[in-house]
Structure 1
């Protein structure tokens, strides 16, 4: 069965960087069989109704400003898969999740920056999925769980976001990790590894420095979505954790 993953996408410039985290992403394809398709929840696509991308081909969305000119010339010309999009809608419907097909939206940087590092040839069909910050955490997990059987079809499911993501607290010159960010991520690690969903669903009340780490939840949601896809075996493995700018977490979780 294909594992599913959570990847932090960090700053848009990550696609140009060379560090331990990008090394992991760049060598990822060598560690596992090539998936038949990729299904990716992006923190940068927010909708109140679950949306499923179904464009014939994707434009590249540059949903950021102030970064290197090179980034605005990058593309990720992946193709979609209409039959898979319809299958995903069917799986959602079985779990009572309303969804719609979106035939126009391209790939935002929460999707393409990660995919460009993982599979730079853009030769694997991609289905992007939206997130909804207004749903309870239990519901986020259930949305991920609804797609679990895709893993049996050699389809790679990814959540792209960030566990500690507070742009107001970034220190662009810092080379040291801030302890509050590490404490939040360490709490998160203990609950993920023990698959303590009840604590995770209440992370805002229980986790240290939760308000600092997750001032808004759209980047945290993809973690719960990816975790939900692993509900049958309930094994979480931390593959990497580091930080940009003092506290912007770069983490990778595998769910089996």
Structure 2
């Protein structure tokens, strides 16, 4: 952490909802990370489980804990994460996005889906830090999520922790294919290692074009709503040099890589995406 105490932005692989009951390595890594960071005054989470056609910001004063899944143990549905909201911050976020040409509206009813509360419960179990959820618009692609992060990067200087929550690999078709901790899916390591190499090099053109350039990209992400929050966290780094570092947390069920990334890029002038960075159609 730099000596100015600025918060990094984070990308967290939250895994399945069962991570809340069986946190494993990711729970250990997130607890260590929380202990190493200055305490945020508020947290903004762009979640792979709040998907909209327009930018929306959660503005509830007391957001509900949403159990947006089925077929899991009853104990999972009994978990609550009663963190307060931050309506004034939500309005400010909508303003920052609007100023960047990314029209957004505040949703006063939005709750916290499991992409928000599962990782936050491991980071800050007391649930005493205000939380603002942020929707992503997957049809607009990774560049759009990167631009959302760029627009909100100045909040890092104000004690706001910006998080993208998804999964570095996410192919639920592999649930029934017999993979396990002892037999990983063959695409997981090549894909995650390629992502790490490009992130450490701040190779934004390659990252935005990952569907064509990364090995096994379509196998790792048949649809990429769980990877797109990574681009939000990248943009929130606030600099073209991302200052990325990978925190490994194992591979859940043999196919869900649980990598965490922190981005400590210097908060200078906001990077402007160049025309050649447009992702493939």
Distance 1:172 1:151, change over 3 A: farther
Distance 2:237 2:223 in 1: 25
TM-score (norm 2): 0.88
Unpaired runs of 5+ in structure 1?
A: none
TM-score (norm 1): 0.96
Q: Deviations over 1:194-238 (max 9, x none)?
A: 010100111001111001001111111100000111132421100
2:119 maps to which residue? 114
Q: How many residue pairs get matched?
A: 256
Is the aligned partner of 1:231 residue 2:238?
yes
1:247 maps to which residue? 255
CA contact (8 A) 1:26 1:118 kept: yes
Is the aligned partner of 1:97 residue 2:105?
no
Distance 2:33 2:242 in 1: 22
2:50 maps to which residue? 45
Is the aligned partner of 1:174 residue 2:180?
yes
Distance 1:18 1:51 in 2: 29
1:33 to 32, 35, 38: 38
Q: Specify which structure has the bigger relative contact order, considering alpha-carbon pairs within 8 angstroms and separated by 6 or more residues.
A: 1
Distance 1:17 1:226 in 2: 25
CA contact (8 A) 2:59 2:85 kept: yes
2:218 to 211, 215, 238: 211
Unpaired runs of 5+ in structure 2?
A: 1-5, 265-281
1:2 to 4, 7, 19: 7
Distance 1:178 1:7 in 2: 20
**C-alpha deviation, 1:121, in angstroms:** 0.8
**C-alpha deviation, 1:172, in angstroms:** 6.2
2:275 maps to which residue? none
Is the aligned partner of 1:75 residue 2:80?
yes
Q: Deviations over 1:91-111 (max 9, x none)?
A: 101110010110112111000
